Amino acid sequence: MPELPEVETIVRNLRAPLVGRTITGVEITWPRQVVKLSPREFTDRIQGQRVKVIGRRGKVLLFTLSAETLFIHLRMSGDLMVVPTGTAREKHAHIVFSLDDEHELRFKDPRKFGRVSLEDMTGKFGPEPLGSEFTATTLAKGLASHSRVLKPLLLDQTFLAGVGNIYADESLHRAGIHPLRKSDTLRPEEVSRLWCTLRRVLHSAIRHGGTDLGDRVYRDGGFRPRVYNRECRTCKTPIRRITVGQRSTRFCPRCQRVQGCGLVNPSPTSPTRGSRR
C-alpha cells in the first residue's frame, strides 16, 4: 500500500496541474468511498470550489479548497492522476473530479478501500516523522511511555503518522534493532539510531519517488530496501520473515540481534520470499 513517501510523491506531482484549478463536477460510481455523505451531497458541497493548497498528513492527502478541506486516504491500492478530459477511463476509476481546464482528477482504486471525506481524517494522528517537532527526545519519550512490541507500535498511526510496513522493517534493519523488542527496553543510543534511520529512509524513498520491490513497483519508485532481499546486504545472512501484529515482518537475525533484553516470544520464522536481487 502507498506509505508516506509514495503519498508525498503523489502530492508533489499533483500540485502543478491542480493548484488554482476549480472543480466543476464530480462523478462517483462507488458511493461507499465517500464518507458520511451521499454522492449528491458531496458533489453539491465541492462543486465550484478552487484548489488552493495540496498537502499531506501521514498517509492522507489534504486538498485545501476555497471553503473547506478535502481528505483522500488511498488505503491499500488507491492512486490519483490528472489526465485530459476524454482520455479512456480506467476500469477502477471510481471517483472523477472534473476541472475547469478540460482535465480530470481520477481516483483509481481496484480494491475500493480508499476513502474521500470533507471531515477531518487525521485528528488522532501522531507526529510527522519528518517534521521538526519529531526529535530523538520525542521518540525516546514515546517509546518509554509504552511497553509494546516495537514493530506494531511504529505502525500505529496515533504514535507516528505515515510509517507503514516496508519502511518500519527497513528502518529497524538499518538501526540494527529486532522488530520484537519491547519499546521501553531501547537504550538511548538505539533510540538515536532508530530516529536517524527512520528519517533517512523516508527522505531517501521520497527522493526516489517510492519503493522498488523487484516484482512490485509503486508508481515507478526507485528506492530499494535492503531487508526485502533473500539475504542481508551487510552480512549475507538469509533474511527471516515472521508475522508480527498480523503483518509480515522481515529482519536479519545476525544484524538485528536482541542482545538479551526485551524480546517477546516470536512466531515461527521462515526464509523470506522477497526480491531475488
pLDDT (tens place) for every residue of the chain, 277 residues total: 789 999 999 999 999 999 999 999 999 999 999 999 999 999 999 999 999 999 999 999 999 999 999 999 999 889 999 999 999 999 999 999 999 999 999 999 999 999 999 999 999 999 999 999 999 999 999 999 999 999 999 999 999 999 999 999 999 999 999 999 999 999 999 999 999 999 999 999 999 999 876 655 455 688 988 898 889 988 999 999 999 999 999 999 999 987 644 454 444 444 544 433 3
> Which residue segments constitute the domains of the chain, with CATH numbers given?
4-117 (3.20.190.10), 136-266 (1.10.8.50)
Concerning whether 247 is annotated as a catalytic residue, the answer is yes
Query: Exactly one of 2, 5, 127, 152 is catalytic; which is it?
Result: 2
Residue 128 near residue 157 (C-beta atoms within 8 A): no
Q: Which helix (H) or strand (E) is 136 found in, with range?
A: helix 136-144
The neighbour count for residue 257, using CB atoms within 10 Å, is 13
**E strand map for the chain:** 23-28, 51-57, 60-65, 69-73, 79-84, 93-99, 103-108, 115-117, 240-244, 247-251, 270-271
CA angle 104, 105, 106 (to 5 degrees): 105
Concerning whether 39 is annotated as a catalytic residue, the answer is no
Concerning whether 6 is annotated as a catalytic residue, the answer is no
Classify residue 118 by its DSSP letter: S
| Residue 189, C-beta contacts closer than 8 angstroms, at least 6 positions apart | none
pTM: 0.90
Query: Exactly one of 56, 59, 108, 193 is catalytic; which is it?
Result: 59
| Residue 260, C-beta contacts closer than 8 angstroms, at least 6 positions apart | none
Query: Exactly one of 75, 112, 247, 254 is catalytic; which is it?
Result: 247
